[in-house]
Structure 1
Amino acid sequence: MLITDVAEGVHLLQHANVNCWLLEDDDGLTLVDAGLPRTRPHLEKAVATLGHQMSDIRALVLTHAHFDHVGMARGLKKDLQLPVYAHPEEHELAAHPYKYAHESPILKYPLRYPKSLGAVGPMALAGALFVKGIEDVGSFTVGDTLKVPGRPQVIATPGHTFGHVALHLPERDAVITGDALVTLDPYTALVGPRLVAGAATADGNQAAASLDAIAETGAQHVLPGHGNPWDRGAARATEAARRNGMK
């Protein structure tokens, strides 16, 4: 599903409970996060709906390199010679997207939160179990304003993964939070601003501390890696995430 102009020139591609973001300006498109392998035809349709060709995507920027955020990356890089960028601490994970640190056993969550099967089931059907990693990933530095369409500013938000970043779009009053703050936790099926469960979070204390960086953007539009956009401001979103905690 494509939702256009969630913020000015920022478009949401939502498929199998995973979000990708398209940043649009006069230079073309930037894809933020690469969903799952079977998201590819949905991306192609979304790009066409926006009046673009796939060749108008100038870069893929990863908030982090879990399997559900790099699913299309390898194919896009091969087919479009698309440059892919991530924090240096994510490069090893990008190459091996299932080898991630997490605080809690994954298998306990379907038993404790049976509704989560309705969230992770579509992810599995979209190829979540068969993601191929990607190497030869470019780097950025925290504090950079990336020279790609949309000109996102890189903010450090480690904890979910050790090199996780958020992308601030000050001219669009928006912040893309990746999985540093979500409004749907696939592992519990709980909704509302929150941290992702310990099944997929490397360091919960660090993840909670990173909420400060999101709040400090003052952005009206909070754009997560899972769940619906939040339009009531970063401060309220992070306050709610702290209350909800990490399961």
Structure 2
Amino acid sequence: MIYSIVSPVHIPAGLAGPDPMDFDVRCFLVPHASGVTLVDTGLDRSVPLIAAKLAEIGAAWSDVTDVVLTHHHPDHTGGLAEVVALAPGATVRAGAHDTFPVAVEAAADGATIRGLRVVATPGHTAGHLSVLAVEDGALLVGDLAGNPGDGLTRAPQAFTADAAEAERSLHKVRRLDFARLYPSHGEPSDRLALEQLLG
């Protein structure tokens, strides 16, 4: 089971373009046999929402064994320092080519973390990664793609380090075995939506 934690984001006009932007950012809890893995930590204000979701599923910070970061952008790591303080026993892992404000272990392409298979998906950032929840048939894609409400889209070019590399990563995940797709921005989607995006 994948549990989404949703935080609304508002960017005023002029900060990221001429128009204001409203969207959400998501992090995820993935229970396993001996605890819970947290994928991304969201914004700093996401931490109480993570705590509430942990309580809702009958878990606590002490049950968080692992934190997996899809990439280093602040809407995915804003809560990281607080999460590390609240779950000091958790191992934090991320792509080796991104930098973070806390110590992280490199998550190698193909490695398995508590039933989550690491998939290197560079492009949005150099160290961007996705994770495949094998038993759930679910692919958590970070910012490799998003779902703003009218179908799956590529990440905005303004926030993507290497669009050509990101495109190669999209084609890489297309070959994986999954049914549900969980972007970090927008509602969950499915394999068909990815096929439609790639044409």
TM-score with structure 1 length normalisation?
A: 0.71
Residue of structure 2 equivalent to 1:52: 59
**Secondary structure, counterpart of 2:135 in structure 1:** helix
Residue of structure 2 equivalent to 1:69: 76
Aligned partner of 2:58: which letter? Answer: G
Q: C-alpha distance in 2, partners of 1:79/1:170?
A: 28
Aligned partner of 1:211: which letter? Answer: L
Aligned partner of 2:138: which letter? Answer: A
Structure 2: gaps of 5 or more residues? 9-23
Residue of structure 2 equivalent to 1:112: none
Residue of structure 2 equivalent to 1:241: 197
**Secondary structure, counterpart of 1:59 in structure 2:** strand
Structure 1 contact 194–240 (Cα < 8 Å) conserved: no
Structure number with the higher strand fraction is: 2
1:222 correspondence with 2:186? no
Q: C-alpha distance in 1, partners of 2:59/2:142?
A: 24
1:38 correspondence with 2:30? no
- Greater relative CO (CA pairs within 8 A, separation 6+): 1
Q: C-alpha distance in 1, partners of 2:163/2:82?
A: 32
**Secondary structure, counterpart of 1:238 in structure 2:** helix
Residue of structure 2 equivalent to 1:162: 126
Q: Deviations over 1:137-162 (max 9, x none)?
A: 1111111112x3xx110112111111
Q: C-alpha distance in 1, partners of 2:158/2:185?
A: 15
Q: CA RMSD in A?
A: 1.4
| Residue 137 (structure 1) aligned to one of 93, 104, 112 | 104
Runs of 4+ residues deviating >3 angstroms: none
Q: C-alpha distance in 2, partners of 1:152/1:197?
A: 26
Structure 2 contact 108–120 (Cα < 8 Å) conserved: no
Residue of structure 2 equivalent to 1:207: 166
What pairs up with 1:189-204 in 2 under 5 angstroms? 191-204=150-163
Structure 2 contact 95–120 (Cα < 8 Å) conserved: no
Aligned residues with identical type, % of pairs: 31
Q: Deviations over 1:39-84 (max 9, x none)?
A: 1111111110101112111111011111110011111112321321
CA-CA distance at 1:237 after TM superposition: 2.5
Structure 1: gaps of 5 or more residues? 1-8, 95-133, 185-189
Q: C-alpha distance in 1, partners of 2:29/2:110?
A: 21
Structure 1 contact 13–46 (Cα < 8 Å) conserved: yes
Q: C-alpha distance in 2, partners of 1:160/1:200?
A: 7
Q: C-alpha distance in 2, partners of 1:135/1:43?
A: 19
| Residue 89 (structure 1) aligned to one of 73, 84, 97 | 97
Q: C-alpha distance in 1, partners of 2:85/2:160?
A: 30
Structure number with the higher helix fraction is: 1
| Residue 178 (structure 1) aligned to one of 126, 131, 142 | 142
Q: C-alpha distance in 1, partners of 2:57/2:177?
A: 28
Q: How many residues align?
A: 183
Structure 2 contact 25–184 (Cα < 8 Å) conserved: yes
**Secondary structure, counterpart of 2:151 in structure 1:** strand
Structure 1 contact 159–207 (Cα < 8 Å) conserved: yes
TM-score with structure 2 length normalisation?
A: 0.87
Structure 1 contact 181–196 (Cα < 8 Å) conserved: yes
Structure 1 contact 73–84 (Cα < 8 Å) conserved: no
Residue of structure 1 equivalent to 2:117: 153
Q: C-alpha distance in 2, partners of 1:45/1:31?
A: 13
CA-CA distance at 1:10 after TM superposition: 1.2
| Residue 14 (structure 1) aligned to one of 6, 17, 23 | 6
